Amino acid sequence: MKQAILETAGRTFVTADTHFGQTDACASFDRPFQDTAAMQDEIVARFNAVVGPNDLLLHLGDFVGDRGSTKEKTRLATSVRDRLHAGRIILVRGNHDPDRSRYREVFDAVYDLLDFRIGGDEHRVICSHYPMRAWRGNRNGSLHLYGHTHGRLEEAGRSTDVGVDCWGYRPILLDDLVSMLLARKILSLPEKRAPVQPTRDGFGG
């Protein structure tokens, strides 16, 4: 079902962490906009400059920011969605996206974790809002796309932060991300650490 829902007549783009409507987003994430309204207008414009009505947008969470009730967030998400040219938007829910039916209805589909294959089923892609230290198939070359960290976490193996703060406030072509990550080394596990020895009080150390 997930594979079918990803099918599109156009291209597939990926993004995360727009934080629409968050009043302190510019200061918190060092964004070069005058205020939240200017940030929102510019991000929408940059999205529409690359994503068209035949395209699919995978948004990996925090479509809206951390303020407001579910009703307020739904109203804001709806107004922004109406301005975006993307034919379909699939949301992988972030910590600021309400897990409520009326909010989910803004998008074409909503997941907590999205796992699919591309390239004739050759490459597995794991999408989540949060970065993982290890993910399904990571030692076999699978790819991991995430948000949440706003470019402040060192990337590991074939994984990358797709948030707008890392990519000029624009979504990225999925094909370009795949090409970039396939050029990286597969994540290998470090040496196994020694088991923690219990002490008299029950804790290691």
| 4 pLDDT higher than 60 | no
pLDDT at 168: 97
Q: Tokens in use for 184?
A: 């990286």
Q: What is the CATH number of domain 2-182?
A: 3.60.21.10
Say if residue 182's pLDDT is above 90: yes
pLDDT given at position 7:
73
| Residue showing tokens 């301005």 | 83
Q: What is the pLDDT of residues 96-149, one digit of tens each?
A: 999 999 999 999 999 999 999 988 778 999 999 999 999 999 988 999 999 999
Identify the band that residue 190 occupies on the pLDDT scale cut at 50, 70 and 90.
Answer: low
Give me the chain's average pLDDT, please.
Answer: 91
- CA distances to 59, 70, 122, 170 from 139, rounded to whole Å, are 25, 39, 15, 30
pLDDT band at 1 (very low <50, low <70, confident <90, very high): very low
Residues 3, 114: Cα–Cα separation, whole Å:
10
C-alpha separations of 141 from 9, 13, 120, 175 in Å: 27, 21, 15, 16
Beta partners for 117? 124
Each residue's pLDDT tens digit, 50-68 = 999 999 999 999 999 988 8
113-118, strands of its sheet edge to edge: 113-118, 123-128, 143-146, 159-161
Q: What percent of the chain has pLDDT over 90?
A: 78
Work out the percent of the chain whose per-residue pLDDT is above 70. 91
| Domain extent listing, the chain | 2-182
Q: Yes or no: say if 115 and 2 are a contact pair by the CB < 8 Å rule.
A: yes
